[in-house]
Structure 1
Amino acid sequence: MSVLIKKAAEHWEFVSPLLRKPKSEDDYDRLVQALDELLEMTGDDESHPLMSLVDIIGDWIEEWDRVHHPTPKPPGFEVLGYLMREHGLTQSDLPGVGTQSVVSEILSGKRQLNLRQVRWLAEHFKLPVDVFI
């Protein structure tokens, strides 16, 4: 038996709870807590010896979230409103969408974006069209 395996076996009872993919919400919660503690220890030091454990646990948490806690996709008009705020745009700064009143109706949810508008917005913001659909 190699020295590495022997050392791992000696400490396994202490390490094994951290090296198990979550199979329940309780497992997930334990891993989230462990990750928080690890991040407090490692800080921003990418060369810290525990960063590989941070990466492993972080990947498992991300996978669990993707499958069990999916984030709902916001409607196109909410994405548009967010992008306008982020870029400091007004309703009249989007001529490819329409007049100020058309943009206002879209932002309030009274009018849906049509395919032409979606294509223009995707090109304008350099984003995939499905962001606005």
Structure 2
Amino acid sequence: MTLTLNKEVYGSLLADIQPQLITNEAENERALNIVENLLADENLSPEQEQILKLLVALIEKFEAEHYQLEASTPHSILLHLMEARDLRQANLVGVIGSRGVVSEVVNGKRQISKSQAKSLGEFFHVDPSLFIDFSMR
């Protein structure tokens, strides 16, 4: 079954929203806000549903290109989480080891062990596998 859209309604929505390729954070935020508003409406018209699908596809494309967690290393994830929570090396002493061990891990001189990954996962409330370098197997 082919969905038939009202060209005037769809054209008006396109003119109001002006969807386009997302190239920066501001444009992504704008698209996310529009999607959020559309999702809040329980009775979307077919035209609104098409706009929603289009915006979601544009957002997914932008985020896949700019937020690549798969390409992150355990070390970069640790540094990001520390920065996001305004933590210092001293905050991890006792979580993953002594001051010296923490320093080596944070400075990338030592890989994160499985037991340290588990401890970091519990500490940051994330999946411990984020801290395991599967490429080293």
Task: Give the TM-score normalised by structure 2.
Answer: 0.56
1:32 alignment partner in structure 2: 21
Q: Do 1:78 and 1:107's aligned partners in 2 also have CA atoms closer than 8 Å?
A: no
For residue 90 of structure 2, what is the amino acid of its counterpart? S
> 1:118 Cα shift?
0.1
Aligned pairs, number: 107
Out of 71, 82, 86, the position equivalent to 1:84 is 82
Instruction: Give the 3 Å change call, closer, same or farther, for CA 128–99 of structure 1 in structure 2.
Output: same
Identity %: 22
Does the Cα contact within 8 Å between 1:122 and 1:128 map onto a contact in 2? Answer: yes
CA contact (8 A) 2:89 2:106 kept: no
Moved over 6 A (4+): none
Specify whether residues 89 and 64 from structure 1 end up closer, same or farther in structure 2 by C-alpha distance, changes over 3 A only. Answer: closer
* 1:80 Cα offset (Å): 1.1
Larger Rg: 1
Segment of structure 1 superposing worse, 53-62 or 88-97: 53-62
CA contact (8 A) 1:92 1:99 kept: no
Is 1:123 matched with 2:122? yes
Cα 1:56/1:107, change in 2 over 3 Å: same
User: Deviation per CA, 1:46-80, whole angstroms, max 9, x where unpaired?
Assistant: 2697753442112323555688x482431111111
**One of 72, 75, 89 as aligned partner of 2:73:** 75
2:36, 2:114 → 1: CA distance? 47
